[in-house]
């Protein structure tokens, strides 16, 4: 039965004599583990099927302090049952197979640890820790706030898993459980030993919030991610563990994306408490993709240092804003929404809804943005000057990809008076230039009405929002649904396009993104399609568009 704290206090020679229930269908493995455990002076009861084990537990609960249960692809369901029934007993799962979802499921169902076979002596020797933990935390079943998101993720995972019966490794889910798997999320490799949970109680891992109050305290997520509060400007605790970022305000209307934004503290506090932080680019790529839809806004502020220990809240120095592509993207969107001319720092800031960003930051960025723009389209602007934002701008789309709609002579995009040549860029020219700003990628919904590109600005279209290049034909838009649902949309318009493949933002666009694409397309029919393909037929066009993530086409 479960050990109580009192039991342990009176237990001489602990963990000697700890009673271990061993459930393993592999008799040789069981024998091996058993002998090791016995060497360590544990008392082992071996079972080879869970029914026996469970009945033993119910008959004589006092006979076991901890269980070690082997799970395989064949018996996992039974093992899950075991976990549920024997949840009072700290249970360590072991397996020869490395299946992330199985592991997570086990943990979610209450397993205290998941160990890959072969079990090392160290692991076995330390299993008592779970008993202790359980003994002293028995009442602490209350879920802390910080763990709720984890639990929710787990719950959804379980639903999914249970519904689907078998546990096939599912990569997509894994991203939702970063807290559990931590930085190892890339370690899908079968060989990796990474997933072996450390011999410490599970739930403590990865979710320890910044409550230790130490400069060098760190969450498991990664060090230095605590927030420093710079007076009024609130900073959320950016743990980089998406799951934990819960306290940020919910975004209003257009769900906006922010990621990869970083503001770092430049120097150290007067008291010598060094709190410099690395300008660690948030691993936004993936995460943003997965979190966008939640309207998750992460603070771009990367302050560091826990004030409680470092003392000086007065220690606020300039935070350097790193205008990452994501942030810039937001910025551009805000500017677009306001209209280039009406875009003033305060409004932009408002629209961006980025915590920690100051008006000054925005102003500065805007300054650069404008200069850049001016540089790019000096003439055009002047010519059509008086009302740069009126409809005449619609004529400014040199990007019209003739090949996108070659069969349609009367393409509405092209104003009759203005004829632009075909895009006709040489293959491979995509990535040239324009890498400076935002790495030359812009999202499908990137409105472009205010980009007065020079006709033919072509390849040099500045990254300042110019949809520099479409992905080459052979690069499908990652993650975009292949369906062409939008194709039949009644009031269709030109779709958008997926991100150029040079975007480092390789995550899969979510529905939200797609929605945006569609909305954008609908509201701005004049947007050009950046396809660089010249399909031989409409069908091919449709197919290709579909592949590129373009969901709608103009009715013709």
Partner DNA sequence: CTCTCAATAT
Partner DNA sequence: GATATTGAGA
By CB under 7 A, name the binding residues for DNA: 263, 266, 318-323, 344-347, 359-361, 363-368, 370, 436-437
Q: Which is nearer to DNA, 320 or 524 (CB)?
A: 320
Could you tell me the smallest distance in angstroms from the CB atom of residue 302 to DNA?
A: 11
Q: How far is the CB of 315 from DNA (least distance, A)?
A: 13
3-state secondary structure string across 533-552: CCCCCHHHHHHHHHHHCCCC
Residue 419 neighbours by CB distance under 10 Å: 9
What DSSP string describes 119-176?
Answer: PPHHHHHTTHHHHHHHHHHTTTTSPPGGGHHHHHHHHHHHHHHHHT-S----HHHHGG
Peptide bond preceding 330 in cis form (omega within 30 of 0): no
3-state per-residue secondary structure call for 59-83? HCHHHCCEEEEECCCCCHHHHHHHH
**Nearest residue (CB) to DNA, 56 versus 344:** 344
The label of the residue with tokens 């033993």 reads: 56
Q: What angle do CA 106, 81, 149 make, to 5 degrees?
A: 40
- Rounded to a whole number of angstroms, the minimum distance from the CB of residue 318 to DNA is 3
- The smaller minimum CB distance to DNA, of residues 382 and 422, is found at 382
Distance CA(69)–CA(77), nearest Å, equals 13
Residue 365 CB, nearest approach to DNA (Å): 6
Q: Which residue has the tokens 């990007």?
A: 399
What are the E-state strand segments in 188-288? 262-265
Please, which residue, 280 or 294, has the CB nearer to DNA? 280
Shortest Cβ 381–DNA spacing (Å): 13
Closest to DNA by CB, 304 or 361:
361
Residue 287: exposure state from Cβ atoms within 10 A (0-12, 13-18, ≥19) = buried
Alpha-carbon span 115 to 110, nearest angstrom: 14
Return d(Cα 468, Cα 429) in angstroms, integer: 10
Q: Which of 434, 454, 327 is nearest to 379 (CA)?
A: 454
Nearer to DNA, 340 or 533 (CB): 340
Which one, 109 or 343, has the nearer CB to DNA?
343
Radius of gyration of the chain (CA): 29
Q: How many CA atoms does the CB half-sphere of 237 hold within 13 Å?
A: 23
- In whole angstroms, the minimum distance from the beta carbon of 399 to DNA comes to 23
Of residues 11 and 437, the one with the C-beta less far from DNA: 437
Q: Closer CB to DNA, residue 312 or residue 368?
A: 368
Taking the complex as a whole, the smallest distance from the CB of residue 378 to DNA amounts, in Å, to 14
Q: Is 245 exposed, middle or buried (0-12, 13-18, 19+ CB in 10 A)?
A: buried
Report in angstroms how near the CB of residue 420 gets to DNA at its nearest: 28
Specify the residue, 37 or 319, whose C-beta has the smaller distance to DNA.
Answer: 319
d(CA 361, CA 345): 8
CB of 364 to DNA, least distance (A): 3
> 262-265 and 319-322 as β-strands: parallel, antiparallel, unpaired?
antiparallel
Closest distance of CB 357 from DNA, Å: 9
Q: Are 244 and 205 in contact (CB under 8 A)?
A: no
For residue 470 the two structure tokens come to 């479409």
DSSP code of residue 212: S
Query: Residue 425 and residue 456: Cα distance in Å, rounded?
Result: 10
Identify which of residues 68 and 301 has a Cβ nearer to DNA in the complex. 301
Residue with tokens 């399909």: 535
* Smallest distance, DNA to C-beta of residue 258, A: 14
Compare residues 347 and 425 and give the one whose CB is closer to DNA.
347
In the complex, minimum distance from the CB of residue 129 to DNA, in angstroms, rounded to a whole number: 45
Cα 469 to Cα 239: distance, rounded to the nearest angstrom: 34
| Cα gap 431→440, rounded to integer Å | 8
């Amino acid at each position: 039965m479960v050990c109580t704290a009192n039991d342990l206090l009176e237990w001489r020679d602990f963990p000697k004599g700890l009673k271990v229930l061993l459930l393993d269908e592999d008799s040789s493995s069981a024998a091996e583990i058993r002998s090791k455990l016995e060497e360590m002076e544990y008392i082992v009861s071996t079972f080879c099927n869970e029914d026996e084990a469970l009945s033993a537990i119910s008959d004589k609960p006092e006979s076991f302090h901890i269980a070690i249960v082997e799970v395989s692809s064949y018996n996992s369901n039974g093992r899950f049952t075991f976990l549920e029934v024997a949840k009072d007993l700290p249970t360590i799962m072991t397996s020869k197979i490395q299946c992330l979802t199985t592991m997570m499921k086990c943990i979610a169902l209450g397993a205290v640890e998941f160990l890959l076979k072969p079990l090392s002596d160290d692991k076995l020797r330390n299993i008592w820790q779970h008993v202790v933990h359980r003994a002293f935390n028995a009442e602490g079943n209350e879920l802390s706030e910080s763990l709720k998101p984890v639990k929710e993720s787990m719950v959804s995972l379980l639903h999914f898993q249970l519904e689907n019966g078998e546990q096939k490794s599912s990569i997509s889910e894994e991203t939702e459980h970063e807290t559990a798997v931590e930085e190892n999320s890339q370690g899908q490799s079968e060989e990796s030993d990474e997933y072996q949970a450390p011999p410490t109680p599970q739930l403590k891992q990865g979710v320890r919030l910044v409550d230790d109050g130490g400069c060098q305290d760190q969450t498991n997520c990664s060090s230095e991610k605590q927030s420093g509060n710079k007076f009024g400007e609130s900073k959320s605790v950016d743990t980089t563990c998406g799951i934990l970022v819960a306290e940020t305000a919910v975004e209003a209307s257009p769900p906006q994306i922010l990621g990869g934004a970083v503001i770092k503290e430049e120097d150290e506090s007067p008291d010598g408490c060094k709190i410099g932080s690395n300008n660690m680019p948030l691993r936004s790529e993936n995460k943003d993709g997965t979190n966008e839809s939640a309207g998750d806004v992460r603070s771009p502020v990367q302050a560091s240092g826990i004030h409680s220990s470092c003392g000086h809240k007065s220690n606020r120095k300039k935070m350097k804003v790193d205008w990452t592509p994501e942030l810039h993207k937001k910025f551009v969107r805000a500017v677009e929404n306001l209209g280039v001319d009406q875009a003033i720092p305060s409004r932009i800031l408002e629209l961006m809804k980025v915590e920690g960003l100051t008006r000054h930051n925005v102003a500065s960025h805007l300054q650069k943005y404008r200069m850049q723009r001016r540089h790019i389209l000096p003439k055009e602007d002047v010519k059509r000057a008086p009302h740069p934002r009126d409809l005449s701008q619609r004529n400014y789309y040199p990007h019209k990809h003739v090949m996108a709609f070659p069969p349609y002579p009367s393409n509405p995009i092209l104003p009759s008076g203005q004829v632009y040549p075909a895009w006709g860029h040489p293959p491979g020219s995509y990535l040239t230039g324009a890498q400076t700003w935002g790495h030359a990628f812009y999202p499908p919904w990137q409105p472009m009405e205010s980009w007065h590109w020079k006709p033919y600005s072509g390849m040099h279209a500045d990254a300042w929002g110019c949809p520099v290049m479409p992905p080459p034909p052979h690069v499908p838009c990652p993650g975009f649904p292949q369906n062409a649902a939008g194709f039949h949309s009644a009031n269709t318009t030109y779709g958008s396009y997926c991100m150029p493949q040079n975007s480092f933002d390789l995550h899969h666009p979510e529905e939200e993104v797609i929605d945006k694409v569609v909305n954008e397309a609908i509201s701005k029919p004049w947007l050009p399609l950046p396809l660089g393909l010249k399909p031989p037929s409409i069908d091919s066009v449709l197919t290709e568009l579909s592949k590129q993530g373009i969901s709608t086409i103009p009715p013709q």
